[in-house]
């Protein structure tokens, strides 16, 4: 579990991809503190397991499914990435609950400055937009952000200067792909509200005609 408060901007050292697997090596410093093999680090919001460490970075395996559903498959050597270690049980909860299991990707379609803030607009699939509400939370490339506006085709967030300087979002031009994770609370609520066939029980084959034929 993560909070969406990016700790550090890392740099991709290498990317290895095949039809069956992938491996990502990232240069980092701060997120290495206290990290051991087997720990989780979110890379652009995607929860990855550390498989090796050195004094200048870490290596994580990436499943084909993760490469398909995220922007990790587009990373190349030298690209910058948002990094966050898994939340410590005794730490402060600064953002919102972020699982590190993204729901899909969106596309940056615009940005504009308003005072000291910058609005960023992201086009997203309908299934993701259904769970986005104004003033609610969303994670973009692992960054916990508050939704400023939402429409049928896109949504907007507003970045304060600190968030802008500590993350990679504003360095991405229009047309860039970003990882999106809906608020986990909203996903559970949606699941609970969906009708379940299993709860409805098996359909009865007893009809009025059946009863008449059998003397009732």
From 85, 112, 146, the end of a domain falls on: 85
140: in domain:
yes
For position 19, what pLDDT does the model report?
75
Q: Measured in whole angstroms, how far is the alpha carbon of residue 23 from the centre of its chain?
A: 19
pLDDT digits 0-9 by tens, 140-177 = 999 999 999 999 999 999 999 999 999 999 999 999 99
Q: Specify whether 110 is located in the same domain as 62.
A: no
Alpha carbon distances (Å) from 189 to 155, 182, 184: 21, 12, 9
209: in domain:
no
159: in domain:
yes
Average pLDDT over residues 20-33: 94
Q: Which residue has the higher pLDDT, 51 or 197?
A: 51
Q: Specify whether 121 is located in the same domain as 75.
A: no
97: in domain:
no
Q: Specify whether 181 is located in the same domain as 114.
A: yes
pTM reported for the whole predicted model: 0.85
211: in domain:
no
Here the CATH number for the domain that contains residue 61 is: 2.40.30.20
Count Cβ neighbours within 10 Å for each residue of 165-180 and write b for 16 or more, e otherwise.
ebbbbeebeeebbbbb
Mean pLDDT of the chain: 89
39: in domain:
yes
Domain of 150, in residue numbers = 104-191
**With contact defined as beta carbons under 8 Å apart, do 177 and 105 qualify?**
yes
Q: Specify whether 164 is located in the same domain as 122.
A: yes
Q: Specify whether 129 is located in the same domain as 60.
A: no
Q: Specify whether 57 is located in the same domain as 20.
A: yes
Number of domains the chain contains:
2
* C-alpha torsion sign, points 160, 146, 7, 89: positive
Q: Specify whether 81 is located in the same domain as 108.
A: no
Q: Specify whether 108 is located in the same domain as 78.
A: no
Most confident of 176-180, 187-191, 197-201: 176-180
124: in domain:
yes
Q: Specify whether 127 is located in the same domain as 170.
A: yes
167: in domain:
yes
From 56, 85, 114, the end of a domain falls on: 85
């Amino acid at each position: 579990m993560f909070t969406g408060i990016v700790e550090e901007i890392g740099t991709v050292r290498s990317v290895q991809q095949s039809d069956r697997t992938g491996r990502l090596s990232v240069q980092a410093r701060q997120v290495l503190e206290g990290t051991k093999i087997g720990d989780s680090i979110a890379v652009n919001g995607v929860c990855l397991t550390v498989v090796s460490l050195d004094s200048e970075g870490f290596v994580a395996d990436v499943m084909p499914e993760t490469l398909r559903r995220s922007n990790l498959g587009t990373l190349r050597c030298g690209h910058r990435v948002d990094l966050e270690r898994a939340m410590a049980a005794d730490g402060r909860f600064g953002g919102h609950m972020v699982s590190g299991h993204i729901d899909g990707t969106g596309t940056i379609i615009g940005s504009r400055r308003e005072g000291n803030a910058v609005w960023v607009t992201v086009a997203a699939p309908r299934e993701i937009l259904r769970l986005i509400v104004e003033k609610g939370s969303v994670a973009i490339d692992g960054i916990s952000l508050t939704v400023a506006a939402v429409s049928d085709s896109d949504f907007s967030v507003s970045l304060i200067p600190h968030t802008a300087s500590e993350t990679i979002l504003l360095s991405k031009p229009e047309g860039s792909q970003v990882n999106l994770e809906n608020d986990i609370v909203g996903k559970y609520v949606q699941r609970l509200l969906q009708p379940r066939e299993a709860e409805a029980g098996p359909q009865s084959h007893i009809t009025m005609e059946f009863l008449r034929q059998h003397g009732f």
